[in-house]
Amino acid sequence: MSLSRLKKGDMVKVLAGKDKGKTGKILKAIPEKDRIVVEKINLVKKHKRPDQKNKGGIVEKEGSFHISKVALLCGKCNTGVRVRSKLLEDGKKVRICSKCNEVINVG
Ligand SMILES: [Zn+2]
């Protein structure tokens, strides 16, 4: 899996680590590091200083992690799958689930 096949808004399944088996939406992609930030995955505690809006304290925030730990989620297979690219007749590139051959839509 390369990051060119994953983008912001994609649903992914976590394959390794403490959040193994969970699914979430990609909030941010960092192509130069091959890392992503996924909603509610890899939460890390951060100390926040109080400011005018917040009291401060410990907040949980998503930390980035390497893309090798996730697979794109196929809505039909309902699991993390390998994808391949397919060029449509109109020149548009889509991602195809290698299990069920369905086009994986991006939200
Ligand atoms: Zn599928």
- Ligand 1: distance of its center to the CA of 55 in Å? 45
- The whole-number pLDDT of residue 62 equals 97
- The whole-number pLDDT of residue 42 equals 97
The residues spanned by each domain of the chain are 3-73
- 9 in the Ramachandran plot: left (φ > 0), alpha (ψ -120 to 50) or beta? left
- The whole-number pLDDT of residue 48 equals 87
- The whole-number pLDDT of residue 99 equals 96
- The whole-number pLDDT of residue 3 equals 56
pTM, entire model? 0.82
- Ligand 1: distance of its center to the CA of 5 in Å? 15
- Ligand 1: distance of its center to the CA of 39 in Å? 22
CATH number at 3-73 = 2.30.30.30
Separation between Cα atoms, residue 20 and residue 9, nearest integer Å: 19
Separation between Cα atoms, residue 11 and residue 80, nearest integer Å: 9
Which residues are within 5 Å of ligand 1 (an ion), measured at CB?
A: 74, 76-77, 97, 99-100
- The whole-number pLDDT of residue 5 equals 76
State the Cα angle at 8 between 44 and 82, rounded to 5°. Answer: 95
Q: What is the mean pLDDT of each run of 10 residues along the chain (107 residues)?
A: 75 95 96 95 92 88 95 93 91 92 77
User: How far is the CA of 47 from the CAs of 23, 58, 59, 70, in angstroms?
Assistant: 26, 5, 6, 27
